[in-house]
Amino acid sequence: MGIFKQREREIFDLMASSSEVGGSSADYETMMSTSDVELLKRAWRNEKAAPEILQYEGALVERAKEQIELVEETIEDYVENGKDPLLVSLYQMDLDRTQFLLRSYLRVRLVKIEKFMFHNLKSEEAERRLSEQERVFATKCADDLVKHFEETVLLKLPENYQSVLKQSQISEVDDMVPQPHLDTFVVCRSNNFVSLNLYEEGESPETVEMERGDLYFIRYKIVKGAIESGQIDLI
Amino acid sequence: MAGQTDPHISLFSPQEVEFMAEDELVEIVPNMNMEQLNFISGDFGLFIPQIPTKVPLWLAVALKRRGKCSFRPPGWMSVDNLTQILEAERESQSTFQALPFSYVEIARLLFDHAHDDIPDKYMVRSLVEDIRDVRLHKLETNLGSFQGTSAVKISNVSAMEVNIVRPFVRRALEAFYKHDKPEADVGRDTRSSRQQREANNEPRRPLRQR
């Protein structure tokens, strides 16, 4: 058929180990051959489990959108030409599944943006992780919220308490801004052998070592870097 | 809304856990001819009668429901293997036997849609249920023995089981961590501990930091 531009192949060897006992679902040593759907699933899972917003996978989203549009057109084609309805419904199912992943991924990010609106706009690191549209959305949302608060409540309070970001003028930091709770515990699985520092700088340097395929309940802060580099997945 | 579960109950809804498990490959034996399927998620096929082939679980179930194939139950689902695993689970109080990560979901879907393809299906079903019970019970009793650490290793726990205990274990470990931490904070200045206090705008905690 060759209609579809599959970016990566060799999916089956990777997934073949998944129905065996104790296997992990993709061989990350050959990560470049992982399918887009697998990558999207991983991004979706990580995003759902992480307390803060993660790096936006722009390229992946674009590719997924392209493939979805392609399949939608093909399905329309098939229906018009009276192709076997079984085939059509199977393609439709695959399409639905991919669409669900994409939509849920974007929605989870939106929920996090709304939750930590001011924090995301303040912190440069977080802002870098948003996509262009997300940034626009966050700014507009924040502006609206500030306006709303000011008009309904803040301007009616005594002068020292009118800021949206600070409890009062004497606060040294923006303490009205909710921040993501980075010390929360998450479940993760390692893809490689990895050794991590359990505590922060200056404290007792205990490490935890993870073999490939181990499951751990662990503090998010500890694994944050490893998630970004793809060595660890959140479950 | 596509997949927005209340994170206070559990991170993933059971349907979402099943969704993730549905990408696992299983073996089927088609009874008809069909061309290769070029899905976004991969290429599957050709489908030739009596020739076994591997497809994702969701596709297998869809084909089975339309009467187009039969299942080959995975190797781990035999009565012998499951009996062995059940005994081993019962013997050890603290370790879990190695089972496929999505064994609960796979077994469930197979029982629901393809029970006639499973030899000794009643035996297999009751074994799987027993294994589930023993493991869950083990998880519950082990939860009582947590201490204040930053990392807990849980080997061979399956997806569904992780999802069930996750909210409780999270809160328990977080509480441990919070109570262990203030000893290290004594040396820090007040500003950072104030920041920590204010940063807790997330789910209401019954315990507040000083």
Task: Write the pLDDT tens digit of every residue in A175-203.
Answer: 778 888 888 888 888 887 777 766 654 45
In this complex, which of A18, A37, A214 lies closest to B41 when CB atoms are compared?
Answer: A37
- The residue type found at A130 is L
Please list the residues that pair with B69 across neighbouring strands. Answer: B30
Contact criterion met (CB < 8 Å) for A185 and B170: yes
Top residue of A97, A163, A232 to mutate, by most chain B CBs within 10 Å, is A97
pLDDT tens, position by position, B29-88: 999 999 899 998 889 878 999 999 999 999 999 999 999 999 998 999 999 999 999 999
DSSP state of B9: T
Res B181: pLDDT: 67
CB A205 within 8 A of CB A197: yes
Top residue of A19, A44, A214, A233 to mutate, by most chain B CBs within 10 Å, is A19
Res A42: pLDDT: 92
Contact criterion met (CB < 8 Å) for A22 and B62: no
Put residue A230 in one of left, alpha, beta given phi > 0 → left and psi -120 to 50 → alpha.
left
Q: Which is higher by pLDDT, A40 or B148? A: A40
* Beta-carbon-side half-sphere exposure of residue A179 (alpha carbons within 13 Å): 18
Whole-angstrom distance, CA of residue B205 vs CA of residue A60: 37
Contact criterion met (CB < 8 Å) for B101 and A203: no
CB B40 within 8 A of CB A92: no
Token look-up 């909710």 returns A178
In 3D space, the residue among A195, A76, A66 whose CA is nearest the CA of residue B151 turns out to be A195
**Distance (Å) from the alpha carbon of A234 to chain B's nearest alpha carbon:** 11
**Distance (Å) from the alpha carbon of A95 to chain B's nearest alpha carbon:** 7
In this complex, which of A22, A98, A111 lies closest to B98 when CB atoms are compared?
Answer: A22
Contact criterion met (CB < 8 Å) for B62 and A12: no
pLDDT exceeds cutoff 90 at A155:
no
Contact criterion met (CB < 8 Å) for B38 and A6: yes
Contact criterion met (CB < 8 Å) for B42 and A184: no
Whole-angstrom distance, CA of residue B30 vs CA of residue B68: 6
Contact criterion met (CB < 8 Å) for B191 and A23: no
Q: Which is higher by pLDDT, A45 or A202? A: A45
Spell out the per-residue pLDDT of chain B, length 210, in tens. Answer: 455 555 566 788 888 999 999 999 999 999 999 989 999 888 987 899 999 999 999 999 999 999 999 999 899 999 999 999 999 999 988 888 989 999 999 999 999 998 888 888 899 999 999 999 999 999 888 877 766 577 788 888 899 999 988 888 888 888 888 887 665 444 334 444 444 443 444 444 455 455
Top residue of B8, B11, B36, B41 to mutate, by most chain A CBs within 10 Å, is B41
Chain B residue numbers touching A221 (CB-CB < 8 A): none
**Distance (Å) from the alpha carbon of B180 to chain A's nearest alpha carbon:** 12
CB A16 within 8 A of CB B54: yes
DSSP state of B36: P
CB B86 within 8 A of CB B131: yes
In 3D space, the residue among B22, B2, B43, B60 whose CA is nearest the CA of residue A99 turns out to be B2
Q: pLDDT confidence of A29, banded at 50, 70, 90?
A: very low
Res A120: pLDDT: 84
CB A19 within 8 A of CB B26: yes
Contact criterion met (CB < 8 Å) for B40 and A4: yes
Whole-angstrom distance, CA of residue B106 vs CA of residue A17: 15
CA distances from B153 to A163, B60, B139, B149 (A): 45, 34, 12, 10
Quote the pTM value: 0.80
Q: pLDDT confidence of A8, banded at 50, 70, 90?
A: very low
Is B24 part of the contact surface with chain A (CB cutoff 8 Å)? yes
Coil vs helix vs strand at A187? strand
In 3D space, the residue among B55, B25, B10 whose CA is nearest the CA of residue B171 turns out to be B10
pLDDT exceeds cutoff 50 at A24:
no
Pairing of strands B53-56, B25-30: antiparallel
Neighbours of A192 (CB within 10 A): 15
In this complex, which of B25, B68, B177 lies closest to A19 when CB atoms are compared?
Answer: B25
